[in-house]
A and B are shown apart, each in its own frame.
Chain A
Amino acid sequence: MRPLSYARADDPVAAIALVAAHAEGAFLAGGTTEVDLARQDVLRPLLLVDINHLPLDDVEDLPGGGLRIGALARMSDVARVPAVMDRFPMISQALVLGASAQLRNMASMGGNLCQRVRCGYFRDVTSPCNKRDPGSGCGAMNGFHRGHAILGVSDQCIATHPSDVAVALVALDAVVHTRGPGGERAIGIDDFFLLPGDTPDREHPLGHGELITAIEVPAVPMARRSVYLKFRDRQSYEFALASVAAAIHVEEGTVTGVRLALGGVGTKPWRARRAEAALFGQPASEDSFAEAAREELAQATPRPQNAFKVDLARRAIVRALNTLMDGEAR
Chain B
Amino acid sequence: MSTNVVSPPAVRGPQAGTVVLRVNGQQRKLWVEPRVSLLDALREHLGLTGSKKGCDQGTCGACTVWVDGRRVLACLTLAVTCEGREVTTIEGLSADGSLHPVQAAFIARDAFQCGYCTPGQIMSAVALLEEGHAGDDAEIAEWMSGNICRCAAYPNIRAAIRDVRDTAGGER
Contact = CB atoms under 8 A, between A and B. Distances in A.
A46 B37 CA distance: 16
Nearest to B73: A102
Nearest to B128: A101
Contacts of B15: 3
Contacts of B128: 101
A106 B73 contact: yes
A1 B79 CA distance: 14
A323 B140 CA distance: 25
Given A5-B34, A31-B77, A236-B141, A102 B9 contact: no
Given A6-B80, A102-B71, A103-B73, A40 B34 contact: no
Interface stretch (B89-97, B108-116, B142-150): B142-150
A282 interface: no
B77 A106 contact: yes
B57 A2 contact: no
A260 interface: no
A215 B99 CA distance: 44
Contacts of A105: 70-72
B28 interface: no
A10 interface: yes
Given A106-B72, A236-B141, A101 B124 contact: yes
A17 interface: yes
A35 B58 CA distance: 10
Interface residues of B, number: 41
B35 A3 contact: yes
A173 interface: no
A309 to B, nearest CB: 23
B48 interface: no
Interface string B43-54: 000000000000
Contacts of B35: 1-4, 38
Given A4-B34, A15-B9, A100-B146, A28 B124 contact: no
User: How large, as a class, is the contact surface on chain A?
Assistant: 35 or more
Given A35-B37, A35-B77, A52-B81, A102 B8 contact: no
A236 B142 contact: yes
B64 A102 contact: yes
Contacts of A10: 9
Contacts of A1: 35
A128 B9 CA distance: 38
A214 B54 CA distance: 35
A100 B11 contact: no
Contact of A32 (B14, B58, B145): B58
Given A17-B8, A36-B76, A100 B145 contact: yes
A48 B81 CA distance: 10
Nearest to B34: A6
Interface in A1-33: 1-11, 13-15, 17-18, 28, 31-32
A201 to B, nearest CB: 22
Contacts of A101: 71, 124, 127-128, 131, 133, 143-146
Nearest to B141: A236
B119 interface: no
A103 B146 contact: yes
B13 A3 contact: yes
A49 B131 CA distance: 31
B58 A36 contact: yes
Contact of B13 (A5, A13, A106, A237): A5
A47 interface: yes
A255 B4 CA distance: 54
A101 B34 CA distance: 26
Given A101-B144, A235-B145, 9 more contacts: A5-B13, A7-B12, A32-B58, A38-B35, A48-B34, A48-B78, A76-B70, A100-B147, A106-B76
3 smallest CB-CB distances across A and B, nearest first, come from A100-B146, A6-B34, A3-B14
